[in-house]
Amino acid sequence: MPQKMNRSYGVTGNPQYEAPPFTDFASVTPDTPLDKLNLNWREKDLPERQRTKHVHKLHPYLGKFVPQLVEIFLRKYRPRRVCDPFCGSGTTLVEANCLGIESVGCDICEFNCLLTKVKVARYDFHLLRREIIKVLGQLHEACDSPLFGSQRRDVSAQVSPYLRTWYAPEALQQLLLFRDIISSTHYAPVFQVILSRAARSARLTTHYELDFPKAPITEPYYCYKHRRICQPIKQALTFLVRYTWDTYDRLMEYQRLRTDAPTTVIYGDARNVRFPPVDLVITSPPYVGLIDYHEQHRYAYELLGLPVHEHLEIGSASQGQSQAAIQKYLDDMTSAFQNVLRSLKSGGRLVVIIHDSRNLYDEIAKRLGLRVEYRLRRHVNRRTGRRSTDFFEDVIVWQV
């Protein structure tokens, strides 16, 4: 797509997809022209291990944006404090801390806030390791006991219909046992994230439908991911052990990169949270009618007893994509950005990464009275699961 000038947008477009992609992220300075950067990364240019470095892979999260994209804008605009009003899994806050930038984020989903806080927290790793050894020791001892099988707790009387439906009895018992063991630990939030990640993997679903499971699977099935017959998941212990040590390693890796820059995570609605003064906003807001963010991590809400505010989600899939739903999305998103603008300094910028197929963000910018400084479109060709269609993402820079 050739670059061009537009009186409303400023610089638009993106270099040709075939041109060399930009990967020298540390070289970005305030003088770097964004329209000259080819952001169309292919798998060989920006492999998964780099996109999911350290804590970015503590727990799967649909719709999160590439951390390297955040890094580019943080280096370009060099804010004292950056805000993400839809912080999701905390990508903006994690990257800001690595660069020594203070950050604040909020989210209406409490699990998202839990996940983000675990990522950016400081740890006594000697204590965390001792707790891990103790927790896993108790877990193995309980699972190896003859009483584990003969006196299985009556899960039907103690858990929700969701948990009874989506887990084999042994897997559910192991998850509940882990939950009981970790309740008195100092680093309980870390173990809660581990529990959630294991619960996601241990559901009675196919290996290729972990993002959007359709129905519980209780019989052998042909797996499109592994190209063979696979069995339904019967236990969760393997996942609990594997993810516990993986989490420890990832937190340790991030510890070597993090700085002392303050990070604040607020559990609340972006439309009415009172943000502190900020110089820059970087966010990837929810799309229209695509993802139910509470439902995405339903297993976590059920196991951890977290409060659910699905009715407050902006653009949730349950609201659909009707004209009425689109209009409500426009109103809600405008309200959220209006609230954020109260804290953004004069001349500050908002960087919005969104798949804006309906060009709704032109209307939002108009309502807010913002100037569109850049609008770039990048090709996202890395697909997971069975998704293979082309996907384009808009990178929009608004200036106050």
CATH number at residue 395: 3.40.50.150
The angle subtended at Cα 121 by Cα 182 and Cα 172, nearest 5°, is 30
pLDDT band at 8 (very low <50, low <70, confident <90, very high): very low
**Which one of 195, 220, 253 terminates a domain?**
253
User: What residue has token string 């992220």?
Assistant: 25
Residues 6+ apart with CB under 8 A from 213: 166, 203, 205, 206
Between CA 148 and CA 199 the distance in angstroms is 19
Q: What is the mean pLDDT of residues 365-388?
A: 79
**Residue 177 vs residues 108, 155, 181, 241, 309: alpha-carbon distances, Å:** 29, 12, 6, 13, 27
Most confident range (mean pLDDT) of 7-11, 289-293, 323-327 is 323-327
**Do 17 and 33 belong together in one domain?**
yes
For 217, the token pair is 């699977």
Q: What percent of the chain has pLDDT over 90?
A: 76
What is the helix (H) or strand (E) element at residue 35, kind and residue range? none
Distance of CA 388 to the CA centre of its chain: 21
Q: What is the mean pLDDT of residues 11-16?
A: 54
Between CA 374 and CA 397 the distance in angstroms is 5
Q: What pLDDT sits at residue 331?
A: 97
pLDDT tens-digit readout, 231-250: 999 999 999 999 999 999 99
pLDDT band at 379 (very low <50, low <70, confident <90, very high): confident
What is the helix (H) or strand (E) element at residue 357, kind and residue range? none
Q: What pLDDT sits at residue 382?
A: 55
Between CA 108 and CA 308 the distance in angstroms is 9
**Do 242 and 298 belong together in one domain?**
no
pLDDT band at 380 (very low <50, low <70, confident <90, very high): confident
Between CA 106 and CA 352 the distance in angstroms is 15
The answer, yes or no, to whether residue 285 has pLDDT greater than 90, is yes
The answer, yes or no, to whether residue 17 has pLDDT greater than 90, is no
Residue 184: count other Cβ atoms within 10 Å of its Cβ.
Answer: 8
Q: What pLDDT sits at residue 10?
A: 45
- Which of 181-185, 252-256, 328-332, 391-395 bottoms out in mean pLDDT, i.e. has the lowest? 391-395
Q: What pLDDT sits at residue 390?
A: 65
The whole-model pTM stands at: 0.92
Per-state percent for the chain, helix, strand, coil, to nearest 5: 45, 15, 40
18 burial via Cβ count (<10 Å: 0-12, 13-18, 19+): exposed
Q: What is the mean pLDDT of residues 294-300?
A: 94
Q: What pLDDT sits at residue 35?
A: 85
**Which one of 209, 230, 253 terminates a domain?**
253
Between CA 63 and CA 217 the distance in angstroms is 25
The answer, yes or no, to whether residue 386 has pLDDT greater than 50, is no
**Do 245 and 366 belong together in one domain?**
no
**Do 269 and 368 belong together in one domain?**
yes
β partners of residue 107: 267
β partners of residue 11: 5, 374
**Do 135 and 191 belong together in one domain?**
yes
**Do 306 and 199 belong together in one domain?**
no
The answer, yes or no, to whether residue 117 has pLDDT greater than 90, is yes
- Which of 47-61, 88-102, 114-128, 142-156 bottoms out in mean pLDDT, i.e. has the lowest? 142-156
How many domains are there within the chain? 2
The answer, yes or no, to whether residue 20 has pLDDT greater than 90, is no
β partners of residue 43: none
Q: What percent of the chain has pLDDT over 70?
A: 91
pLDDT tens-digit readout, 41-100: 888 899 999 999 999 999 999 888 899 999 999 999 999 999 999 999 999 999 999 999
**Do 150 and 208 belong together in one domain?**
yes
Alpha helices in the chain (DSSP H): 48-51, 67-77, 91-98, 110-120, 125-144, 146-150, 155-158, 161-166, 169-182, 188-201, 237-255, 293-296, 298-304, 323-341, 360-368
The answer, yes or no, to whether residue 293 has pLDDT greater than 80, is yes
Q: What is the mean pLDDT of residues 96-121?
A: 98
Could you tell me the residue range of the domain that residue 150 belongs to? 125-253
pLDDT tens-digit readout, 26-36: 999 999 999 88
**Do 118 and 132 belong together in one domain?**
no
**Do 75 and 99 belong together in one domain?**
yes
Q: What is the mean pLDDT of residues 347-355?
A: 95
- What one-character-per-residue DSSP string does 124-191 give? -HHHHHHHHHHHHHHHHHHHHSHHHHHT---HHHHS-HHHHHHS-HHHHHHHHHHHHHHTT-TTHHHH
**Which one of 201, 225, 253 terminates a domain?**
253
The answer, yes or no, to whether residue 378 has pLDDT greater than 50, is yes
**Do 217 and 249 belong together in one domain?**
yes
**Do 16 and 96 belong together in one domain?**
yes
* Nearest Cα to Cα of residue 115 among 205, 212, 250, 236: 250
**Do 142 and 225 belong together in one domain?**
yes
Mean pLDDT of the chain: 91
- What one-character-per-residue DSSP string does 218-242 give? -S-EEETTTTEEEPPP---HHHHHH
User: What residue has token string 């581990």?
Assistant: 194
210 burial via Cβ count (<10 Å: 0-12, 13-18, 19+): middle
- Which of 103-117, 140-154, 219-233 bottoms out in mean pLDDT, i.e. has the lowest? 140-154
